[in-house]
Structure 1
Amino acid sequence: MTDGPRETMLRRLRAYRAKQFQKAVTGALYEAADKVRAEASRSITAGSVSGKKHVPSAPGQPPSNDTGTLRSNIEISQPTRDSARVTSFAPYSGVHEFGSSRHPQRPFMRPARDKVAPLARTLLILKIRKAMRKF
């Protein structure tokens, strides 16, 4: 048994809504990840001096920018439509973030994530509401 014109139209409308909803979620996740990346970069460069006058940051504080490698290696990826990932590819980013037996923690990604988390939730809600208003 085939669908009538009304059922066909409703099925297409539902598929369109699902695509628009997914597009809104994907966009909100990427935007939130970009805000985490920006906050992590900002925390690294805030108040830092590079070159001969470089002074390491205090333990527990974000690392101070010296060469710019740490800041420039923070990237965003979206492995799936339902997720976004902010990663630092600098070889020493793990030592800064989690510390080691010789180096104290100087986290920069987790504090950025924690600071942006409430905004990310709000952003997701607003994008979904905006997508729903189109119908």
Structure 2
Amino acid sequence: MIKVEVLEEASRSIESDLVGRIEAGTLNGLRALALMAQTDAQRRVLKGPKTGRIYQRGAGFHQASAPGEAPANDTGFLAGSIKIEVTQKLQVDLHALAPYAIHLEYGTMKMAARPFLRPAAEDAGKKAPEVIDAYVREALR
């Protein structure tokens, strides 16, 4: 009996360690994916092609985004407001803190959407299996 109890206790300890390492690897993979999405969303706003109307603003000109394109950069505030946050044990959120971000992302009754977060998150999500697998494998070494 003593051997069985010792083996069961050792088995639980090993299983607990294994689960913890898998969770840590998964969370690190999710963070890496969120960082990819954050960088991509910022790039879409700051550098993505813009084909909207061109108008004069002060001494210079500004080219707006067309419907369906990521918003055109103006001050950099929107791109700088894009953040990632671990919100639950294995959940990482990507969001923009600029108060007008939601209107750009989804549009309004008077303006078509200029999505930048969802496309970036979707692109990162396509890489999720390989990225998380790599981080979990690393955590198990």
TM-score (norm 2): 0.84
Task: Give the Å deviation of 1:47.
Answer: 5.1
From 111, 118, 122, the counterpart of 1:103: 111
The 5 Å alignment of 1:67-82 reads 67-82=75-90
Superposed CA offset, 1:62-120 (max 9, x none): 01111011001011111112111001110110111111122121110111112111112
Is structure 2 residue 63 aligned with structure 1 residue 62?
no
Separation (CA, whole Å) in 2 of partners of 1:47 and 1:27: 28
Is structure 2 residue 101 aligned with structure 1 residue 85?
no
Superposed CA offset, 1:45-76 (max 9, x none): 11579983221111110011110110010111
% identical aligned pairs: 27
Is structure 2 residue 20 aligned with structure 1 residue 12?
no
Q: Which has the higher contact order (CA 8 A, sep 6+)?
A: 2
Moved segments of 4+, more than 6 Å:
48-51
- Residue in 2 that maps onto 1:119: 127
C-alpha contact (below 8 Å) 1:48/1:65 kept by paired residues: no
Q: Which runs of 5+ in 1 are unaligned?
A: none
| Alignment root-mean-square deviation, CA | 2.3
* More deviation, 120-129/80-89: 120-129
Separation (CA, whole Å) in 1 of partners of 2:66 and 2:116: 13
User: How many residues of Structure 1 are paired with residues of Structure 2 in the alignment?
Assistant: 133
C-alpha contact (below 8 Å) 2:24/2:136 kept by paired residues: no
Separation (CA, whole Å) in 2 of partners of 1:39 and 1:120: 15
Structure that is richer in strand per residue: 2
* More deviation, 114-123/1-10: 1-10
SS in 2 for 1:61: coil
C-alpha contact (below 8 Å) 1:39/1:112 kept by paired residues: yes
